[in-house]
Structure 1
Amino acid sequence: MKVLFITNMYPTSDYIYNGIHVKEQTDYLTSKYNLDSQIYFINGRQSAINYLKSIFSLNLFINKNKFDVIHIHFGLTGLFLLFNPFIYIPTVLTIHGSDISSSKLFGLLPIITKMVTKRVNKVIILNENMYSLLSKYNYKLIQIPCGINIKQFNIKRANNPISFTIGFPGDKRRPEKNFSLFEKIVKELRNTHTNIEIIEFHNFTRQEVIDNLSKLDCLLMTSFREGSPQIVKEAMAAGVPIISTKVGDVEKLLENVENCSVINNFDHTEFLEELLKLYALDYNERITNGYLKLESLSLDQDSVTEAIYSLYQTINK
């Protein structure tokens, strides 16, 4: 099977963690099912003009090659479909979150994503909320959250019972990550506890993510929105306690997971209360059964790619 992956989420030399989960998924699919695959990367971070350029270059590229399936990651990267009504190749779109809920591009991003949704055969969504946002196209939707290599993150915890280390999941400069709330919570905690350390999980290599997860006493997510956050799954596999806002599929992920909590508001006092509960635990008690929960949800990379490949087969008949 010859598959074209089109994405604006892919590692670059200046942003090595950008879209690493997309790269890992496409690599795993290609290797496991012996696909003849090609990656077409649209570097939107470099310039928004690249999306416009892709309209013409992608259509030329597709016309010169015979693909069995096209898999688009992120709604905006499917812009080329809106300018070519004569592409009849079976096409899958994975929606990652901000492409259907963000106000960027003057609110045009969700509109473009819905227009692309209309053109494709199937749409992979990451959480239940996306069903309601795309209710008109429910017959096209299938929920397949991105998976992780669970064994890679099932790690031994670093021995540092002196400090209480909190992880911030993402780039603090991104508004949707809501770093101001995180900062407020930590500031309150430091009023009574001086041994607090912070690790910002941004632009790490895979090994750096693993090494730093092993140091955490808690991952604290204060985001306004998420799709199906990979860092939460990685922390679960590593046995790290997680406190998070109710975003994406986090509530489903953390249901019945020990020492984890989901807060349905942005009141810093509620986050602080949960943090203090973790702080009060003995160092060796700050662990979770997240690894087992991931296995029960079939969020290992093998199960996820099997579901995606089955989808390719279905639309390619």
Structure 2
Amino acid sequence: YIAYTDHPYPWLTARSIRNRRRSIEKWLGDWRPERIIAHTLWPVGELARSLSKRWKVPWTGVVHGHDVDVGLTHSTTGKRIRSLMESANSMVFVSERLRTTAESAEVQTKKAYTIPCHSEMDEEWARPMKKWNGRWRRESIDILFPADPRRPEKNHYLALQAGEILERRGWIVGMTTLKQQPRSIVWDRMIVADVTLITSQRESGPLVARESILCGTPVVSTNVGDVATYLPKEFVIDNPTPEALANACEAALEKDWQRSPVTLPQRVSSKMVSQQWSSLLQGLEEEE
């Protein structure tokens, strides 16, 4: 939140981020890119646009969620994010929902593409999904809440309520949360978890759901992002209540995942996403 200019002590503003141009040029030396890709819009998109004009090269902006879901309607950054999306030579949205949301807000992009984030797991952490073994409602279970509990949109309280219901039924529930850990630690925690529980109010993926599956851990989630396209219906909760989430967690523990494994869609594979980006950049280069 300190990145917003209405914060009492903002340390990132449009002007301050643009003023980093010279430090970027000093760091790059004599090398200059043929294209700039901004992994997000606010605030680094301001720098990308400024460098694009300075170096006379095109730039592409990428939207992962917050820029559209929150920033586009924000009283301070909304106009700037709209301006960034409309001035970029091309925009990439990681989900079709984000793209249609921007279009419904009448954002006039020059070129728009939908390319998801890829999901791939190193062999060290990749595991097949398998059924939980233990004494029913008598043993300890580890539930992974794969987000920073301080972020309100992640709805940590709802996860705690679901855990409380499970404890009333006899389970000894441990709940692990994630903050700013390296990916290797995140994957370690996914491997040891019995269930990954996602209670978010909004997501573009979420990537942690796919990664959890690749680590061999079943996922229970609210109906956000694209989880409904690959998770079994009983584990995607449309009207999330603590009771419904607790029931789904027990169903995930009970299910024989070796007989009915979850298969992620081909469109999120590293190979497919790489091909999409290559096609996008080659196509833009040919147009120029």
Category of TM-score, reference length = shorter chain? 0.7 to 0.9
Aligned to 1:92: 60
Partner AA of 1:154 in structure 2: A
The aligned residue for residue 67 of structure 1 is 33
CA contact (8 A) 2:158 2:242 kept: yes
User: Are 1:57 and 2:20 an aligned pair?
Assistant: yes
Give the aligned partner of residue 108 of structure 1: 76
Task: Answer yes or no: is the 8 Å Cα contact 2:49–2:88 preserved in 1.
Answer: no
2:179 matched to 1:205?
A: no
Contact 1:160 1:215 in 2 (8 A): no
Contact kept, 8 Å, 1:236 with 1:289, in 2: the verdict is no
Q: Identify if the C-alpha distance between structure 1 residues 252 and 59 changes in structure 2 by more than 3 Å, giving closer, same or farther.
A: farther
**Equivalent residue in structure 1 for 2:237, among 263, 268, 272:** 263
Structure 1 residue 150: deviation in Å? 3.4
Task: Decide whether aligned partners of structure 1 residues 48 and 172 sit closer, same or farther in structure 2, where only a CA change above 3 A counts.
Answer: same
Q: Deviations over 1:105-149 (max 9, x none)?
A: 953344322211111122111222112222144762211111132
Which sits farther off after the overlay, 198-207 or 222-231?
Answer: 198-207
Change (3 A) 1:244 1:121: same
Pair member with larger Rg? 2
Counterpart residue identity of residue 118, structure 2: G
Number of the residue aligned with 2:5: none
Match of 1:314 in 2: 283
- Normalized against structure 1, the TM-score is what? 0.72
Q: Distance in 2 between matches of 1:231 and 1:80?
A: 29
Q: CA deviation at 1:65?
A: 4.9
Residues 143 and 175 in structure 2, CA contact (< 8 A), matched pair in contact too: yes
Partner of 2:216: 239
Kept in 1: contact 2:49–2:59 (CA 8 A) = no
How far apart, CA to CA, are the structure 2 residues paired with 1:234 and 1:195? 25
Structure 1 unaligned segments of length 5 or more: list them.
1-45
Match of 1:129 among 92, 97, 116: 97
Partner of 2:46 in structure 1? 79
Whether the 8 Å contact between 1:81 and 1:116 is mirrored in structure 2 is no
Where do residues 150-299 of structure 1 align in structure 2 (5 Å cutoff)? 150-152=121-123, 153-155=125-127, 161=134, 162-254=139-231, 257=232, 261-279=235-253, 281=254, 285=256, 289-290=261-262, 293-294=263-264, 296-299=265-268
Report if aligned partners of 1:165, 1:215 keep a CA contact under 8 Å in 2: yes
Q: Percent identity?
A: 21
Taking the aligned partners of 1:212 and 1:58, their CA distance within structure 2 comes to 39
1:144 aligns with 2:110: no
State the AA in 1 paired with 2:278.
Y
- The answer to whether the Cα contact below 8 Å between 1:240 and 1:286 also exists between their aligned partners in 2 is no
2:87–2:109 CA contact under 8 A, matched in 1: no
Residue 166 of structure 1, CA deviation: 1.0
Structure 1 residue 160: Cα displacement: 7.2
Letter in 2 for 1:163: S
- What's the secondary structure of 2:200's corresponding residue? coil
- Taking CA–CA contacts closer than 8 Å with sequence separation of 6 or more, which of the two structures ends up with the larger relative contact order? 1
Describe the SS at the equivalent of 2:150.
Answer: coil
Pairing partner for 1:302 from 271, 275, 278: 271
Please give the per-residue CA displacement for 1:223-266, whole angstroms capped at 9, x wherever unaligned. Answer: 11112222111012123211111212222242xx4x86211233
Q: Distance in 2 between matches of 1:181 and 1:315?
A: 45
Change (3 A) 1:52 1:264: farther
AA in 2 matched with 1:67: P
SS in 1 for 2:91: strand
- In structure 2, do the counterparts of structure 1 residues 114 and 297 end up closer, same or farther at CA, with 3 Å as the change threshold? farther
Distance 1:99 1:187 in 2: 34
